[in-house]
Structure 1
Amino acid sequence: MQTDMTNPLEQKYNELVNDYNKLQTEYAELHKKLQELEQQSGARAGGPEVSAEVPNPDNLESTLRRLIRQIAAILQAEKVAFMLFKSEESELVATPPAFGFTDDEINLLKVRATQGISGEVFRDGKPMMFHDAVTDPRTMKENVALFHIRNGLTVPLILEKRDEENRVVDRKTIGVLHAFNKQRGGAFIDEDIRLLERMSRNVAAVIANMQMYQAILEEKQELLHTIESLAAGLLMVNHNGRVAQMNQSARRIFGIDTDVQNKPFGEVIVDSSIQEIVRKAIDEGAEGELLEVTVRMENQEHIYQAQNAIVRGDDGKMVGTVVIFNDITDIRNLERMKSAFVATVSHELRTPLTAIKGFTSTLLQDSDDSFTNDDRREFYTIIDQETDRLTRLINDLLNIARIEAGESLKPDFKQVDFKKLASKVITIQRASTNKHTLVLDVPDDIPLIMADEDKLDQIITNLISNAVKYSPHGGEVKLFAKMEDEDHLVFGIKDQGIGIPPEHVNKVFEKFHRVDHSDTRKAYGTGLGLFLVKNLVEEIHGGEIWCESVYGEGSTFLVRLPKVAPLSLQQDGD
C-alpha cells in the first residue's frame, strides 16, 4: 500500500522539480541581467536608474509560495513553514510565505537555536519526525498549543555550493523546514521525510537567491544614500551625454530642485566651464582638469573646486565621467586673510621702527644740544611707546606660533586682585589717548581670583586697546566688573565706537579676521589680538568670552572667569 501511495507522490514531486527547473532558467536569465547591471552600476557609482532596473525579488517569492503549497499538497500536510537562523539573536525565526499559518502566527513562531526539535535539527543537520506533539519531550509545548500542532516533520535547510564538476564544496545550514499535521488524522512516514529533504534543497536555493537579491538592493540603496549625503557635490554623466546622477550638494550648488536624471547635461549645467570639462571627457577622454567655480548661494559667495575623472567598466571602456565639487571658500578666504595679514604685519613692524629710527637719528644728529629737555623727554617717550608697541606685536606673533604648533601657553596661577590690576591697565592706557575717557567701574569688594596675572593683564590690555582703536572719534571706554555668582567673575569693556556689523560679530575671534570699512582701514592691527585673547580666556583660564555690538553705536566685550581655575588647568601650570 505504501508503494501505491508513493507513485502519485513521486509524480507530484517530479512536477515540482519541473517547475523548479523553469525557475532556474528564469533565474539564470535574471542573474545574467543582474551581472550586466552590476557592471554598469559599478561604473556609474550606483545611479538611481540602476536600482530601478534591478530585477524585483517578488517573482522569486511567488515561486517560493508555490513550492510551499506544493509541499503541503504532496505531503498532505495542513501546515508548512520554514524558519531561518538569525545570528544576532541566535534564534530560528519563521518567515513568510507559509501554508496554514496566518501572518500573525508566523510573526509569533520563533525559538532559540538551542531549543526544541527546530534547534536540534538545525544544529545536527538531521531530519526528525514526531507523532504526538503533546507527549513528545522534544517539542516546545507552548508552540504546540498555540499553533495546534499534532504531529510533524522537520528537516534542515542546507545550502550547497558546487564546483564546475558538480561536486559539493561547501554546505551551510540556513534554517529548518516544517510540515505539520497530516491530513485526515493520518501520520507521517519515512517516505515523507525523504521527499521533504529533497524538496528542502529547492526551497533553500530559492531563499538563497532571494537573500542575494535583497543584499544587492540594500547595498545599492546604502550606496545611493551615501552619495546623496556627501558634502561634496557629485555630477555623473553617461557616455551619451545624459545625467546619470546628481546628488543633493550638486543640486544645491547649481540651484536645481527638480529631477534631472536622463536629461542632457547641457540643459542641466549652464556654467560653460563645467560644460567644457564634461564635453572633453566624453569626446576626448580628458580627465583630471582642475578649475574653480564661483556661485552665490543664500546671498553669499561660494568657491568650488571642480575636478573630473573618467568612469570605466570592467572591460575598460568608458561609460561616462564624474565631476566632484569641493567647497574651498574657507581656504580661499584664509589665503586672502593671510595675504592681508602679511601686508598688515609688515606695516605694523615698519611703523614703530620708522618712529624709533627717526627720533633716534634726530637725537644723534643734535651735536650742539639744540633740543630742550622737554623736547628730548617727548622724543624718548615716543621711542618708549613705539618700543612697547613693537614688543606687544612680537609677543602676539610668538604666542600665536606656539598655539598653532599645539604648544600650550604655560600658566602661572596665583591670587590676583582684579580691581588693582584693572586700575593699573586703565592708567597705562590713559597715557596713549587724549580723545577718550577711560572709566573704571569695579566694586571695592570684588574678591581675589585665581588667575595668571600676566595673561589676565594681556587680556584686559588688548580689549581696552581695541576699544580705543575702534572708537576713532573718541568717547567713553568703560571697564566694569561684578561677581555673577560666588564662583564666577564677569567683566566687560564697553565703547562708543563704530560697532561691528551683525554678520561679523561671531567671526571677530577668528584668526586674521578684520572688519573692513573706511574707519577700520585707518586703525592699525593684525587681526590676531582677539584670537589670542579668546585662547587666553578659554584655554588658559577655562572661561568664556563673547561680544555684543550695535553697528554704529559701539561694542561690549564680555568675559566670564571662574573664581578658582579648574584643577586640570592648575595642573598644566605646575
Structure 2
Amino acid sequence: MRESALKKSYLTNSQENSITPKQDKNSSENTICLTKIIFDNLGDPVVLLDEQLRVLESNPAFLALSDKPAENILNKLFFKIDNKKWDHKKIKLLLNSILNETPFISVPITLEIAHKHYEISAKKLAFTEELSSARILLSLKDITSSVTLEHKLQEQINNYDQLIYLSPYLIAILKGEKLIIEIANDTILENWGKGKDIIGKPLLEVLPEIREQGFEDLLLQVMATGKAYHAFEVPAEHLKEGKMVKDYYDFAYQPIFSLNGKVEKVAVIATNVSKQTELYHKISESEKKFRQMIDLLPDKIINANPTGEIIYYNKSWQEYTGFSLKKLRNNGWTKIIHPDHKEEFFEKLNAAYATGENQEMELRCLNKLGKYKWHLYRAVAIHDEAGNIKTWLSTCTEIHRVKEEQRRKEEFLKMVSHELKTPITSIKGYVQLLLSMINANQEVPEALVPVQRSLKRIDSQVSRLTRLISEMLDLSRVENSKLELKKTHFSLNELIYETVEDIRFSSDLSVVEFHDSFEMEVLADRDRVGQVMINLITNAIKYAPKSQLIEIAIYKKDENYGAVSVKDYGIGIPKKDLSKIFDRFYRVEGENEETFSGFGIGLFLVKEIIDRHGGTIDVESKKGKGSKFTFTLPLINFNKNN
C-alpha cells in the first residue's frame, strides 16, 4: 500500500518540479525511491492524507508517536485513529483551510497532545496527471522543550515584574545618556508625585529640579564607567504637587550591561529615609543638649555599657582629676580611689555587674592637688523593655564638707557626752538620796509632798538625759566598731513587761495592749535589747501625742526566729522617708519641726543592735495613720545549732 502510494505521488513543487509522463521511466523510479527514503527517515512525525483525510502513508516517527502498527491506521480517517487522539478543532480548521485554499500553503499551529506540545503544518502536494485527487502532507514538530523554556522565561519575567512593581523600594530603569525612564515602579512614582505617563520620557524633563543637585553627573558617571555608586542619607529636593519637597535617601545606581559588554542602562534603587534621618537628627540634637547639661553639673558622671566598659566622662571628671579625656579613657578613674576603699569598691562593683543591682558607696578620691576628698558613688542600671541592662549610669558626688561636718558633730557629741556624764550621775545620786530620805518616813509630811513629786520628776528627766548621753556614746562606739554585746539566756516577754512598767513611772503612757502568743527565749544582750524596746516604745509615745494606745505583739515568725512588733496610732511616716528612718540624725517632722525633740540617733542604734544580734527590723507606716516597727531575733535553739 505504502509503495503504491509513493509510486503515484511524490513531493515536488507544484509549478517547477511536477513529474510528467514524458520523463524517463528509470528517472521516475529513482526519484520515487529517493522520496521514500527521505520520507521514512524524517525525524518529525509525518502523515500523508487524501482529500477525504484518510491516511495514505505515515513515516516511522508518526507510527512511534501513534504507538500502532501501520495496518491499523492506513486507509482510515485521520480523526478516528489512535482513539481519536487527533480529533482536535484546530487540526480540522487547519486541514479544511488547506483543502479550500490555494495549494502548497503551510499554516503552522501549536497544539498540546498527551502532555506534549506540537507545531503542526499542512501542505497540499502536486501530483502526476494520472491522479486528479489532492494529497495533504501533515507534519508534527515536538516543541515541548521550547514551550517549557518559554514558560520558564515568562515566569521569570513575571517574577521580575513583581519584584520591581510590588517592591517597597523606589526602583527605576534609565536608558542611554538621555536617561530615558524605561521602568518606574509605583513606589517611586508616588514618591515623585508623578503618573505612568512619564514612562519613555527623559528623567531631567520629568524632574528638571534635580539637575543642579548633582544627580545627573552621578548617573552619567555610572553609565560611562560601569561602576556602581552607593550613598546614604543624601538630601534631595523635588517638586511634588506644586511644592518643593526635601527628602533624604539611601540609594544605589547600578549599571546594566548589554550582550556586548557595554553599559546600556542604569538601575536606580532607593529608600526614602526622611523619617529615620529626622529622628536621628533630633536624637543627636537632644544628646548634644543633654551632654552640655551634664557637663555643667558639679557631679562627676560616667556612662558605661552593659559589661562596665566606660564610654563617657563629663567635664567634671577632667576638672577634678586634672586628666585629659584621653587619659581618663585609657587609664580609667578607679586609680584615684583611696587604697582603703578599693577592695570593697571592686567587690560591690563586680556584684552589681553580676546581679544588675544598683550600687552605692562612700569613698575617697584623689584630686588634682593630691588630696583625697569624700564622695558618694552611685551606679544605676538602665534596663530596656525586655528587662536587659542597656547601660550603666554612675555619679560621684563630693560629700567632703558633709563628712567633715558629720565628723565634727560626732566629736562634739562625744565630748559633750563625756563631760555631762559625771555631773548628771552626781545629780541623780543626790536626787535619789533625797527621795530615800523622804520615803524613809512612813508618812510623808504634807510640806514635803510637792518636793517629793518634784524630785521624782527630776529623777525621771535625769534618767532620760542619761539615756540620751548613753545613745551618743553608743553612736561613738558604733563608729569605732567598739559596741560590745554581752549575751545571756533570758525571756524576752519578761524584759518587755519590765520595760513597759519602768516607762509607766516616767511618762504619760496609759494603755498598752499585749498580744503575747509565744514565750520567746533568746540568747542576747539583755541591756541592749531593753534599749531597743525603750527606744521603740518612747518613740511610739512621742509621735502619737493624741493617741496613748500602743500595741505590743510577741509571736513566732518561723522555726528559727521570734518577732516583736510595736504599733502606734500617731503621725506616721511619709512613704518617701521610710528608707531613711534608720539613718543617723534622721528625725520625723510633724506640723512643726520643733514639736518632737531628739538627736535622731535612737533608731539608728536600734538597727545596729538588732543587726549585730543577727536579726532584722522593718517598718510599716502611713502618714496620719501611725507606724508599726517589727524586729526579729534568733531563738535559743537556732543559736545552739549555729
| TM-score in terms of structure 2 length | 0.35
Give 1 or 2 for the bigger CA radius of gyration.
2
| TM-score in terms of structure 1 length | 0.39
- Determine which structure has greater relative contact order: mean sequence separation of CA pairs < 8 Å that are 6+ residues apart, divided by chain length: 1
